[in-house]
Every structure is written in C-alpha cells, then in structure tokens.
Structure 1
Amino acid sequence: MDTIPTPKYDRDKQVMAKMFSDYYKQMLDYLILQLQFNPTDPKVIREKDIMRQINFWLKELNTGMAKEIEKLIKKVFKDGQAYHLLSVKEAKTWEKAVSSASFNKLQRGKVEALIADTYEDILLATHHTSNSIKKVVRDTTAKVARINSLQNRGYKDMAKQLEKELTKQGLSKTIVKDGFVGITDRAGRKWDLATYSKMVVTTKTNQAFIEGVRHESEETGFDLAVISHHGAEDACSNWEGMVISLSGKTEGYITYKQARDTNEIFHPNCEHTVHSIRSLDMLHPDEIAEHKQKMKAIGDVDSRKYVRKKKK
C-alpha cells in the first residue's frame, strides 16, 4: 500500500522550544545575579522577591504555551481528519480533504479535552519547577549562613569549598540540575521543564492526530487502519504493520484502545501513527502476511487487553 506521508510539526515545536530557551536564560541569569556569593561584598538573599519574579516569568511562559498548544492541537486534529479522508480515497487533494472534514460538537469536545490535558501537564511541570527553584534559593541562603559561621570559627577551607559552589559556574550547574526540574518520574529520574514539556507536546500531538483519524473514520464508516513503520527497536516493533480497528466496530481485529493499553505502542513519546484503509484489499499480500504474523504473536488474556505470548 502506498501510504501518504504524515504531516510534520517540527516548526511548531521549534517555536515552543525557543520559548523555553528564552525563559530559561532569563531565569538562569537572574538567579545567578541574585544568589552569587561575593565574600568582599555580601548581599542579603531576598527569597520572596526572587520567587515573585520567577513565578511571574513562569506564568508568562504558561500563557505563551497555552496559546501555542491550542493552535497546534486544533491544527493536528484537523490534519488527522484530512489524512483519513485521503487514505481511504474520499478526497483527492489535501485541500479538499481539509475542507471536507467534519467538525461537530463531539469532535470539538474531544479537541478541547486534549488541549486541557496538555496544558494541565505543562502547568504541573511549571509548578514543580517553581518549587525546585525555591528549594535552590533556600539551600543557597543556608550555605551563605554556613560560610559566615565557618569563617568565624576558623574553618576557612570548608568555607572556601562552599564559596566555590556559589560561584557563577557552581550556581549554574546547581540551578540547571536541581532548579529547572519539571517532574521526577517513578524511577527517580529528573526531567527538566523543557524536556518534559517537549515529551508532553510530542505525545499529545500524536494523540490528537490519531483522534482526528478516528473521529473522521466514524463519519465515513471506514474503521480499519495500519500501524505505521518507523524501524522501531523497542516493543513498538511488535505492532508495526498490524491492522487494527479504530473504534472496535470491526470484529476480528485488536482495537486502537486495546493496543494502547498494552503500553507497547502509542505510549508517551511514541511517534507511531495509523494509516486508514477501506479494507484489506488495499494492502499488498506481503502486508497482509505481516499483519497475520503479528496477530499470531498476540494472545487474548481477557476481554480488556492483549499481551504478547511467551516464547516457549
């Protein structure tokens, strides 16, 4: 089957990446200016004033991200609808597909929910970042107090070590490593705000595209789709080329929801998408054979989900 290339959204993501980069630099420079220790000219660290400014910038970042997220999710969902119409040959050109795509109350609600979920994840990350920066500020204040105490007690070498941590270079490492933390996952790995937000946007963008495909498939009555190939080396490879039912209306096929529930495919940061087909007749015999082979490797555990059969 000759598949139509899926749209790319690199430019949209670059806009968001630059937004994060600009705010990161602004906050980093400000924090170093406020926290850097100068033994010949010590200054009072005013935590409330510092956090007021940091939270102001984080709020501005949230507002800018909200606008970009809303614009991107709406566009991607619409592209998914158009992509379905082209794939099943209900439209001959991209322009015709976009203009023919439906947009009813149900679809509008789905788009709004995707936008809200994406923005909520970003808000959670910026909230964690604010708390992480606040801790860095407090730790720095404690280190400055300890330096003064050590110097008064004659522990100059220990004081020098702390002073080293509060130089521009030392503070920069600390702020980036411990301050710009958007989330800490279950494995204890720290995701900085920009990296975590990029993952969220990538995941939700892909999800919005597939939801656009799924909702338009409901309108046209073509329920089958093929999972895309990307040469994956993880568990996703087990699903590439498999034909699934987008809504569950076609018996004998694993549904999109069941596949997603396995966490092997359509997981966070997953780039796999789907290509709609009218029927298996649209596929090359080799593609049908691949689908059947992949199906054999899947075992029905119960009525809720599928898992891979264990090798003997």
Structure 2
Amino acid sequence: MNGPPAVELVDLRKSFGDLVVLDGLTMRVATGGVHALLGQNGAGKTTTVRILATLTRPDSGSARVAGHDVVRERRRVRRTISLAGQHAALDDGQTGAENLTMLARLSGLSGPAARDRAGTLLERFDLTDAAGRRVVTYSGGMRRRLDLAASLVGTPSVIFLDEPTTGLDLRSRQGLWEVIGELAGAGVTVLLTTQYLEEADQLADRITVLHHGGLAAEGTAAELKSRFGAQRLELAWRDAAGFAEAERRLGDRLTHRDPARLALSVATDGSGPQVRSLLDEVDPDRHGVVRFNVREATLDDVFLTLTGQPVTPEREVANV
C-alpha cells in the first residue's frame, strides 16, 4: 500500500448486548479505487460502515478515515465522507432537482451555486429528463442513482456504499456499476458492502471477507480465487446410493453437495492425472458418475471455503 490509507481499523470491537458483531477487526483500505466488504448475514458489514460514518461508536479499538479518528474527530470525518445506505434517503414529495438543491444549500452553497451543482449531478447520473418529477414517481434504479447523486453534493474523498444495488433489476444494477466505476476513476475511495459476489468481482480492486466479526481474508479477486478457490470437479450421480458412497469417500474434501440433484463438487488442480484419480476413487466401477465438469473457481467458491456457507442476497440480521 503506497501512501496513507483512506480507512484504517485496528482491533475494532462492537457488541449489542450479548451479540458480538465485531471481534477485533483490523483492516486497511488504500486511497482511491473500489474496496468491497463481503460477509454473510450478521458478519458486521453494516456496523463497520456505521462506525466509519460516525453513526455508531465502537466499544474499543480505533478507526480512522482520511487520517481522522472517528470518535475524537467526528466533524472532520463527516466533512470528508459521504454515505449511501441500504435505503435511499430522499424526500418523495420533492422533485429530483429540489432534493439535490436542498442538500446543496444545507452543505453551505448559495442558491445559484446549489442549483448549478444539482444540475451537474442530474446530468452526470442521467436524470436530467426526470429532474422536474417528484421522486415518488421514480423507478428503483432512478432512486438509487439520485441517492448516489445526493451523496456527492459535497466533494467527499471517501464514500461508503452499503449494499447500494439490493433490490434492483440487472439492468439497473449494471447502470450503477458504471457510475461507481466512474467515481473510483475520479479519485474517490469507494468502500462497498455487498452480498452480490458478481458485483465485487466486477467492481472491486480489493476485497475483504468478514466472518464472525473478524477478517477472514483479503486481496484481489484473482488472489482470493487462487488462494482459496482452486478449481472444482463437479460430479452428477446416477442414484442416491452412489451419491452417498461418494460423499462418504470424499468427506471434508467436499466443497459443495446437492442431494436433490445428486451432485457433488471437490477441489482440484484441474490436471488430467488428478481428475482421473478422483474419478477412480469415487467411482471405481465407472457406473455411478453420469457426467462431470471441471470449472474455474469463483468468488462463491472462495466464500464457501472461508465461511462454510454460500452468500445469499438477503437483509442482514438486525442490520449488523
């Protein structure tokens, strides 16, 4: 990492009653680019973002954004950051232009400057044609774009996006991906929480995986796939008896099992000799396997290896 980090957490801890949400989390986010924060429901993603945005105080440990302590220097942190949460924070009764102009005025701009800033953002986020419409008439994708525009009324150096594309259709998600890429290209540091692994794969320069409130792994998507994913040999079985026997033989080497489809998968280096050896091991009489496939690792495989569970795009438990 070159230069000071945009975000730095050291031994961060946070509990809600008996529920431990963050358990000694330490991580650094480089300045510039997109950094994705992944984790299963309740892993602590939203709590991490809320602490960094000065909305929640940690129990212990330290957190700094752009060099400022989130507890002792809250005002400086808030002047540096912007936050787009899981739900768009907009006034449905106002138009898109009115929402942005109001926020620009609240940030200290004069009337003419606020209107100019609103117009610039509406154009940047492809909302000019809808500028005069009340937000209640906007589609989900339009609302998320307006919410992102609102988060850039100021000039933040760090922006937190907490599951910004949840609930959007694929086309709207891809549109927001383009916008997020443009933000990073303009020099803004983007910390993105998401449960869509494809999103992290497409957008993130680096990825951090949280598990049980701590750091499970971090690196680029390619590094994580290489270290934790390996390739997968996927096997489909003729009958339940063969499936059960193969499951017994492979034991904890299994990376995935689907009894309904009589399908198993196991890690492999992808070489012919190892694939042949695995097939001979699990199907020595060559009558049980009806088909097999070798594929490259995905972030889903990485996540499954690190946490023992697949990611599902659901709301986080108690917003933690």
TM-score scaled by length of structure 2: 0.23
Compare CA radii of gyration and give the structure with the larger one: 1
Task: Tell me: higher relative CO, structure 1 or 2? Use CA pairs within 8 A at least 6 residues apart.
Answer: 2
More helix per residue: 1 or 2?
Answer: 1
More strand per residue: 1 or 2?
Answer: 2
